[in-house]
Homo-oligomer: A and B are copies of this chain.
Amino acid sequence: MYHPFDPISPEEMRAAVGILKDKFKGIRLRFNLIDVNEPIKEEAIPYVEAERLHQELPVAPTRLIQCLFHRVDTYVFMKAMVNVEERRVDWVKEMPKHVQGPADIDEMQALEELCMTHPKVLEEKEKLQLPEGVDLCCEPWIYGTDDSNEDRRLCQCYLYLRPVDHEQTNHYSLPVSFSPVFNSVTKEFVRMDYLPTGADTKTGPTKPWKPVKAVEYAHDLLDEPLRKDLMPYIVQQPEGPSFTVEGQLVKWQKWRFRVGFNHREGLILYNVTYDSRNLFYRLALSEMTVPYGDPRMPFHRKQAFDVGDVGLGVTANQLALGCDCLGYIKYFDGFRIDSKGNPILLKNVICLHEQDNGILHKHTNFRNNAATVVRNRQLVVQMICTLANYEYAFAWYFDQAAGIQFEVRATGIVSTIPVDEPGLSVPWATQVAPGVMAPFHQHLFSLRIDPAVDGYKNTIYYEDSVPLPVDEKLNPHGIGYGVEKTVIKKAGPAKTNVDRHRVFKIRNDDVINTVSYNPVAYAIHTVPSQMILMNEQSFNTKRAEFAKEPVWVTKYQDDELYAAGEFTNQSREDTGLAKWAKRDDDVENSDVIFWHTFGLTHNPRPEDFPIMPVETITVDLKPSGFFTKNPALDVPRSTQSFNKSVLVTKSEDATCGC
C-alpha cells in the first residue's frame, strides 16, 4: 500500500499516536516529531531494483514510524520506533538529560505568547514609553550553546517593535535591546539579557524609545510608488507539461525518481535513475548551520541549525499558484504532527514544474551556416522554507543531458540588532537602517549524496589538473598537462583545490565505458567556499565539524543521515560526521556516502535590507564518462514553430534552417 519511500500518511500518524498513548496509559505525552523512519537500505535496494528491472517485487522493507515525544510529567525526552501495521512499539528509549529534541511549532507559539504577556517583559516595555499603536513583537530563538553546560531547555526571545498594525510590518527594522530567556518546559522566566548596543560589551538599562521610521517591504506600506513598466511574462504549455506523476513517482525525459518528504529534511529525492540506469539512491540537504560573527553575549550563542533544530519540512511554505511558481505546476503535500498528536496538512510544500534555461547545445558549420540548436528544458523540484527571518529556497534541476543541479537561494530578512550611535563602526556588522545593525554570519550547508552510479558499490576519487614535467623529447616547451587521480580509500574529510582544478568524481569500478575505457562516473562539482570561521575550540565549531571541511566521505550505515548528528538543539558536540568519519572505514568500491559542505560568508549590505535579493549557490552533478556520448542528442531541435517567439520590430525575420 505504501511505497518504502512514501512520506508518512495522516492515518499512520494517528495510529502511531494511538499506539503510544496505549503504551503510556495515564501519562500525558507531548509529540515533537512523527515520521517514517528511513528504510533499512539493505532491504530497500532489492525492492527498488526489482522495480527498475520490471521484476516481481520482493517483500517491502519493514516500514517503521519514528516518534519523538516528551512525557509531560517528567519532561523526559523519548524516542520510540513504532510498527503501525503490526500495532506495536519496537522499542522506546529515554534520551539523556542534556539532549534536546527539535523545537516544535506549538512550543514556539506558546513561548511567544508567554513572552508578550510576562510581567518582566511588560516591565521593560513600560520603560520604552511606546507611543499609541506601537507594540512589541517576540521572536523565539533556539538558545544555542556555550560553555555553561546548560541542561535546561531554554529559549532566547529576541524582541522588536511593530510600528503599525499591519500583518507584514517589518519589525526587524526596530530591534529592541532587552531579551528575555525562558525555560521552554517550565515556562519560568530565567533572566533578562540586555543586548550591547555599541561597539563593545557594554549594556545598559532600557531607555525610552526614540521613534524612528521603520524600513518596510510590504507593498502596501511602501512610500515609493510601484514600477508601472513591467509587462506580463506568461509561460504556456498548451499540451501540458512533459512530466508524469503517480503518487510520489515522477518521470520526465528519461529521469525517474521519487519525491520524499519529512519533518526534518523536507524535500528528499530517492532512487534517481536516468534511462533506467541507477544514479543516486538518495539526495537531500542533511544539515545547515548559520553561526553569527558578533562575539558578544548573548550573540555568541546565535547559531541556527535549521534542519536539526527545527526542520525544513515543517517550515516549508505552502506555495501559491502563480506567485511562487510560473507555468504548469504540480504540488506535493506533506503532514506534520502537532504537540497533541494531530496530523496537520502541509499543503503544496513541494512544487514541480518545467523551465527553459536557454540553449543546451548548438553548433553552426561556418562554411554553410547550417546549424543544430537544442534548448535546455529543465525540470524543477523545489521547496521554500521560512526560518523566522530568513527564507531558503532549495531546488533540484534536472536536465536532458543527464545533469542534476542543487540550488540554494537565500532571501527573506537578515537578522538585526539595535545600535545607538549613528555611523558607529563595528567589526562584525553593517548598519542597514537608522538604529539597526545586521551582523555578519555564515550559511554553511551539508549536501548528502548517497550515490548508486550504475550500481550500489562506488568509489570516490578526485582529479587534479597538473603540468606535465618538462621533457626534452615529449614536452620541451613545458605546455603539457594531465590529470592526477587520487582514490579516497578511507573515510574522512577531503579538500577542494582551485589552483589544481580539483574535481571530485564517483565511479563504478565494475562498469567500464566502452568509448573512454574508464569506469563510468559522475562528477560532483563542489563549490569552493570559506569554511566555518569560528575558533576550533568554540562550541560553534565543535557542534558543526562538518563545516570545517568541504568534503567528507563515509561508509554507509543506516541512521547516519544528519551531518551534525541527530539532535542539534543545544548540542555540545557534533555527533554526526565528526564521529562517523573517524571510524577508519575502508570506502573504496563500497557503499560510500559523499557529503559536501559549501556556503556563503554573508556580511550584509544595505541592499539586503529590508528584504534580501536572492543569493544563489549551485552544486552540479554531471555525468563524466557515464555515457558513450552526449545523452541529449535525441532532444528535438529548437524551432520557431515549436517555440513561437515574437520579433519586436517590423524588420524581416531571419529564417533559420531549423
Contact = CB atoms under 8 A, between A and B. Distances in A.
A315 B217 CA distance: 46
B239 A636 contact: no
A639 B323 contact: yes
A233 interface: yes
Most chain-B Cβ atoms within 10 A of its Cβ — which of A229, A320, A363, A649?
A: A363
A605 interface: yes
A396 to B, nearest CB: 13
A226 B634 contact: yes
Given A324-B359, A465-B533, A295 B411 contact: no
Interface stretch (A175-183, A263-271, A476-484): A476-484
Contact of A515 (B377, B432, B481, B648): B432
A482 B372 contact: no
Contact of A638 (B322, B386, B425, B601): B322
A535 B230 contact: no
A625 B370 CA distance: 48
Contact of A295 (B479, B515, B634): B479
A475 B227 contact: no
B646 A327 contact: yes
Interface stretch (A45-53, A124-132, A240-248): A240-248
Interface in A193-241: 200-201, 215, 217-219, 222, 224-227, 229-241
Given A239-B231, A362-B384, A386-B363, A623 B607 contact: yes
A629 B253 contact: no
A304 to B, nearest CB: 14
Nearest to A244: B229
Nearest to A296: B474
A603 interface: yes
A474 B328 CA distance: 54
A425 B146 CA distance: 55
Contacts of A654: 318-321, 331, 347-348
A317 interface: yes
Contacts of A635: 226-227, 230
Nearest to A368: B167
A342 interface: no
Interface stretch (A13-21, A32-40, A278-286, A399-407): A399-407
B645 A629 contact: no
A74 interface: no
A354 interface: yes
Interface stretch (A86-94, A537-545, A561-569): A537-545
B634 A607 contact: no
Contacts of A653: 321
Contacts of A403: 613
Contacts of A365: 167-168
Contacts of A493: none
Contacts of A368: 167
B479 A614 contact: no
A626 interface: yes
Contact of A481 (B229, B293, B359, B393): B293
Given A329-B646, A359-B614, A480-B295, A605 B625 contact: yes
A466 to B, nearest CB: 8
A513 B628 CA distance: 56
B614 A361 contact: yes
30 contacts: A200-B474, A224-B633, A226-B634, A230-B253, A230-B377, A230-B636, A235-B235, A291-B479, A317-B362, A318-B654, A320-B657, A321-B646, A321-B647, A328-B646, A330-B647, A362-B393, A363-B413, A440-B483, A477-B538, A478-B534, A478-B538, A481-B533, A483-B603, A496-B498, A499-B531, A513-B606, A605-B623, A606-B628, A607-B626, A607-B631
A25 interface: no
A492 to B, nearest CB: 20
Interface in A568-623: 601, 603, 605-614, 622-623
A240 to B, nearest CB: 6
A482 B633 contact: no
A371 interface: yes
A152 interface: no
Given A326-B356, A331-B648, 18 more contacts: A168-B372, A225-B634, A231-B240, A235-B235, A295-B479, A317-B364, A320-B655, A321-B656, A329-B647, A330-B647, A432-B516, A432-B629, A434-B515, A467-B535, A477-B539, A479-B533, A479-B534, A607-B626
A427 B468 contact: yes
A359 B319 CA distance: 12
Nearest to A523: B605
Most interface-central of A237, A372, A423 (chain B CB within 10 A)? A372
B235 A294 contact: no
A329 B645 contact: yes
Contacts of A232: 237-239, 642-644
Contacts of A254: 227
Nearest to A219: B637
A200 B609 CA distance: 60
Nearest to A620: B616
A262 interface: no
